[in-house]
Chain A
Amino acid sequence: MKLKLTIIVFIVFILQSKGQNDKYQINGSARSYLFANQLNIEKSLDSITPRKSNYGHNLLDLSISIFPNKESEVIGIFRLRNELGGFWGGGVVFDVRQLTLNGLAAKVVKYSIGDIDLQMTKYTLFNNDEEGTLNEADVFSLRRDVMHYDYFYKNNSWRMQGAKIEFNLLPSRNLEKIKFKGFITRQRPTDEQGRPERLFGGGNVGFIKSKNLFINLNTANLFDLKKTSVSDSSYLFNNVTSSDFNYVIKSDSSFKFNLSGESGFSLNKYENFSDLDSPISKNDWFYDISTTLNFTKKKLEFTVGFKDIGKDFSSPGAQTKRINFSKSSNLYQQFTNDYIGRPLTLSDIINGNSNNSVKITPELMAYNVVYNNTTPYGDATPNRRGIYFSFKDLDTGKVKGSHLDFRLLQESTGSGTLRKKVFILSQLGTQVSLNKFFRLKKEFMFNLGYRNEITLRSGEDFEKINLNSNFIDVGLRYELVNHFSLVAGHKFWKANGNEFQEVRDMYNNINDFENLSIDFTENITAFGVKYDFGNQNALTIQYQNFKIKNGGSNGVDYGISDLIILFNLKF
């Protein structure tokens, strides 16, 4: 370890003297993140768990980009992390965070090998946002950004290890361009005992007629490599094939009217699974078509669409959730006198105490019906059909980033009964510059997000569902003096009703329903100060109080308060 430290320090000092030049670049980030927690729970419920804990870390990410020639780039990011309490090298972890080789072959083919970020459409490969954020306040997003950075969650892409290529063809006067993209990644190594190596590969071909019309053909495939384990090892093959398009029907200086959509199918094959319940194959279809009217001068955009996703549509690349709700939080993992696992909360997700996905998985992961029941797996959530519409960009100068989304969906196929669940989801958000209203010189921002979700199913008592979930996300940021701001925010979640949540096996077959009776309230209040150094560098000191009532099936009322110091520096 000492040798590694010496090497890093040596590199930093040597390169620092040179700065940046044509052959290499040095970037990086440093972070100090400290928490002081207190668990607030009645002693009669928990007399065992220590009430207070402190944890945190300091880390340095050093990114070195080397340009051997004009067509090549080598990127390496090295991480030094020291947990709070480590001293003189104790508790220090050295990681290689990224190694990537980028290049341009024959001035035509762009390629990347190593750690690559991949994203396609919302139905083929898409890293959906996690629950609990809607025009989120700075006081929360400062911490959430840390989690996103650590897990490479940026622009809804998945970080994978493999290779990708990209090139264009300019075929004829009928088409402006044909774009080719392809990738292959490794999702799982073999254990050489029956679990074969698993790869994920795909790509798309884009036919671009003009700036007003394009059609893409997409494919994403998750598959096991035969002969990488014992001869009769199980074998999974998942294929998603789709086409998406965008067609600008009419466009002028005042408005633009376009039609877009995507449709396709998925196919799952299972071979040599010892489980007698394993299906031989499953397949299903989907389509999603929408039209958008954009009043460019008024900065108003209106979209209306219709979608239908089959119950067996399976797209691991687009359905894998960021947060694993089946795992307990990493903080106070077990609590109460009965040592029960503490279910995940919004606070855990924001503070990075959740178990997060770094690989895509063919199994539909567990979700919390309170946080998202309409589209728990994003737009590609199976067994959903209905209409949606949205308004966007109601920008008046004082009000920014406003949006209103509405979805009225129902199940394509009833679950457990012929009657189908209906989902009504309404979301709105806005950001208001209060300083413009009050004519203040310093920035004074107010942001608001509101989400209401209703799940209904009529019928007999044993099948009836009525679940109402409300979420409010508000925040304030007031700049006291230059770069120094007061930040505050509050998240409030309240849900009442009942739901029969699907319990699925590893083949995504529903084999039971969990009868949930929900009376849930979650409050997170946070406030503090933030000092901006510019370029996304900030120091913030915050206090957060979190309370939950009847959270999870265990029905334990408790809370956690945190004092948080976060110093984030990028260079």
Chain B
Amino acid sequence: MKINPIYILCFVFISFISCRKEDNNSFDGPSLNDLNGPFSIISSLNLDEEVDFESGEEINFDVELSKNTLWEIEITGQTSGAIRTFSGTERIINSTNTAWLGGSNTFPSFQQEKAIVKMTFPNEEDSPIIIDSVNILSLKKDKGYLITDFENGTGETWSFFNQSGVNASINCNSDLSAKGSCFYRWEGTVSWDWAIGSFQVNAPEGGFGLPANAGNLFFNMASKFISNTGADNCFILLWFDEDDNGDGSFNLETEDRYAYEYWYENDKWNLVSIKYDDLKYDGDGQPVETNGNGLLEPSKLIGINVFFLANKDSGIKSEALVDHIIFTDNEAYKP
């Protein structure tokens, strides 16, 4: 049978034409609506009046906009001054991009208080500012191994060191604490030494109950420098003492002590967080030498010493606060 070549050609072309998928639901490049389209709020924010974070409730900021554009949500604790922010460029704002579980960006944490919610659209001229509020009935539950939040005073096994003229104690003032209402405070003028004062949290019988793996365990603490501050002027020195031989006491000559220095960054509450496994390096990234077995074993941690040091030559009072010492698994603590 002789086939007319035109049929072959038609077949080839129809095959090509049929190969192309018609796609009328997508376009090339960024959306012109997002770039140049008018901005409006299609569905505005409507928050519940109160939230119970402890029981697992969360706040969702359900808003629908007319276009993808930069939006920012800032939640501020009216008493604590705690701040939690969300931002994004999605047109639809819902639980997938703004689920608030009760945490703040950093210390201080939220308290049982009224939180003010402000939503803005920085790239849209003359756009409205949405303001709402929510009452926090209870705080979120912390996940981790709490060493102390200073809410119940000092423990029986704690030990202290303070230079002459230094006042150091637990203060309970909700306006100043990083979390809860209490924190630890050093205050005094020490012109002869950098050392101001320290406290050591010794483990109760049976230890702190920490896991054995140092690779995914984080030490966390809130810290705030108030006076005699400035770069290279003050720092917190942390010692982590391990009971390598399991005799219930620490001997510096034969057991491991790991140290970490947290130097001044700013005058605010800051989260000091370090992976336990990183204690094997010093500030220059060099391996540290210890007197024990040289293994990082958080389950053998027997004491944590928190030491405040400041420049002795500045001639002014030194003051610092610490709060909420907690270990967490897998990630840094979320205030």
A209-B5, A213-B5, A462-B37 known; A417-B31 Cβ under 8 A: yes
Binds A, one of B12-20, B113-121, B133-141: B12-20
Q: Is B231 an interface residue (CB 8 A)?
A: no
Which B residues are in CB contact (< 8 Å) with A463?
Answer: 32-33, 36-37
- Which of B6, B26, B30 lies in contact with A413, CB distance below 8 A? B26
Mask: chain A, 407-425; 1 = CB below 8 Å from B; 0 = not: 0000001111110000000
B28, A416: Cβ atoms closer than 8 Å:
yes
> Chain B: which residue is nearest A382 at the CB level?
B28
Bound Cα distance A312, B105 (Å)? 43
Q: Is A259 an interface residue (CB 8 A)?
A: yes
B30, A512: Cβ atoms closer than 8 Å:
yes
A287-B17, A414-B27, A418-B24 known; A462-B32 Cβ under 8 A: yes
Which A residues are in CB contact (< 8 Å) with B37?
Answer: 460, 462-463
- Which of B9, B20, B32 lies in contact with A259, CB distance below 8 A? B9
The 10 A-B pairs at the shortest CB distance, nearest first, are namely: A510-B29, A416-B32, A462-B36, A414-B27, A462-B37, A263-B16, A287-B16, A415-B28, A463-B32, A417-B32
Q: Is A443 an interface residue (CB 8 A)?
A: no
> Given known contacts A247-B5, A462-B33, what 18 new A-B pairs fall within 8 Å (CB)?
A213-B5, A259-B6, A263-B16, A285-B20, A287-B13, A311-B28, A383-B28, A413-B26, A414-B27, A416-B32, A417-B27, A418-B24, A418-B25, A461-B38, A462-B35, A462-B37, A500-B32, A513-B30
Which B residues are in CB contact (< 8 Å) with A414?
Answer: 27-28
Q: Could you name 11 residue pairs across A and B whose Cβ atoms are closer than 8 Å?
A: A247-B5, A261-B9, A263-B13, A285-B16, A287-B16, A310-B20, A416-B29, A416-B30, A417-B31, A418-B26, A513-B29
Bound Cα distance A213, B5 (Å)? 8
A415, B20: Cβ atoms closer than 8 Å:
no
Q: Is B49 an interface residue (CB 8 A)?
A: no
A308-B20, A513-B32, A513-B35 known; A415-B5 Cβ under 8 A: no
Q: Is B247 an interface residue (CB 8 A)?
A: no
Which A residues are in CB contact (< 8 Å) with B32?
Answer: 416-417, 462-463, 500, 513
Q: Is A249 an interface residue (CB 8 A)?
A: yes
Count residues on chain A whose CB falls below 8 Å from chain B CBs. Answer: 34
Which A residues are in CB contact (< 8 Å) with B29?
Answer: 415-416, 502, 509-513
> Chain A: which residue is nearest B20 at the CB level?
A285
Q: Is B284 an interface residue (CB 8 A)?
A: no
In the assembled complex, the CB of A155 is this many whole angstroms from the nearest CB of chain B, namely: 27
A247-B6, A513-B32 known; A415-B27 Cβ under 8 A: yes
Which A residues are in CB contact (< 8 Å) with B23?
Answer: 413
Q: Is A295 an interface residue (CB 8 A)?
A: no
> Chain B: which residue is nearest A310 at the CB level?
B20
Which B residues are in CB contact (< 8 Å) with A513?
Answer: 29-30, 32, 35
> Chain B: which residue is nearest A418 at the CB level?
B27
Bound Cα distance A383, B12 (Å)? 22
A460-B37, A462-B33, A463-B33 known; A245-B9 Cβ under 8 A: yes
Q: Is A289 an interface residue (CB 8 A)?
A: yes
Partner-B contacts on A (CB < 8 A): 209, 213, 243, 245, 247, 249, 259, 261, 263, 285, 287, 289, 308, 310-311, 383, 413-418, 460-463, 500, 502, 509-513, 515
In the assembled complex, the CB of A109 is this many whole angstroms from the nearest CB of chain B, namely: 29
Partner-A contacts on B (CB < 8 A): 5-6, 9, 12-13, 16-17, 19-20, 23-33, 35-38
Bound Cα distance A215, B141 (Å)? 75
Which B residues are in CB contact (< 8 Å) with A413?
Answer: 23, 26-28
In the assembled complex, the CB of B68 is this many whole angstroms from the nearest CB of chain A, namely: 13
In the assembled complex, the CB of A318 is this many whole angstroms from the nearest CB of chain B, namely: 18
B35, A416: Cβ atoms closer than 8 Å:
yes
> Chain A: which residue is nearest B19 at the CB level?
A285
Bound Cα distance A183, B297 (Å)? 68
Which B residues are in CB contact (< 8 Å) with A285?
Answer: 16, 19-20
Which B residues are in CB contact (< 8 Å) with A500?
Answer: 32
> Chain B: which residue is nearest A383 at the CB level?
B28
Which B residues are in CB contact (< 8 Å) with A311?
Answer: 28
Bound Cα distance A383, B27 (Å)? 11
Which B residues are in CB contact (< 8 Å) with A515?
Answer: 36
Which B residues are in CB contact (< 8 Å) with A213?
Answer: 5
B13, A261: Cβ atoms closer than 8 Å:
yes
A249, B27: Cβ atoms closer than 8 Å:
no
Which B residues are in CB contact (< 8 Å) with A383?
Answer: 28
Bound Cα distance A209, B16 (Å)? 23
Which B residues are in CB contact (< 8 Å) with A511?
Answer: 29-30
A243-B12, A259-B6, A311-B28 known; A417-B33 Cβ under 8 A: yes
Bound Cα distance A461, B36 (Å)? 9
A308, B27: Cβ atoms closer than 8 Å:
no
Which B residues are in CB contact (< 8 Å) with A263?
Answer: 12-13, 16
Bound Cα distance A415, B31 (Å)? 8
Bound Cα distance A231, B24 (Å)? 42
In the assembled complex, the CB of A71 is this many whole angstroms from the nearest CB of chain B, namely: 37
A417-B32, A462-B33, A513-B35 known; A289-B6 Cβ under 8 A: no
In the assembled complex, the CB of B21 is this many whole angstroms from the nearest CB of chain A, namely: 10
- Which of B5, B9, B26, B38 lies in contact with A462, CB distance below 8 A? B38
Which B residues are in CB contact (< 8 Å) with A417?
Answer: 27, 31-33
Which B residues are in CB contact (< 8 Å) with A416?
Answer: 27-32, 35
Bound Cα distance A414, B38 (Å)? 20
In the assembled complex, the CB of A87 is this many whole angstroms from the nearest CB of chain B, namely: 55
Which B residues are in CB contact (< 8 Å) with A502?
Answer: 29
In the assembled complex, the CB of A343 is this many whole angstroms from the nearest CB of chain B, namely: 23
In the assembled complex, the CB of A103 is this many whole angstroms from the nearest CB of chain B, namely: 36
Bound Cα distance A415, B35 (Å)? 13
A289, B13: Cβ atoms closer than 8 Å:
yes
In the assembled complex, the CB of A122 is this many whole angstroms from the nearest CB of chain B, namely: 16
In the assembled complex, the CB of B29 is this many whole angstroms from the nearest CB of chain A, namely: 3
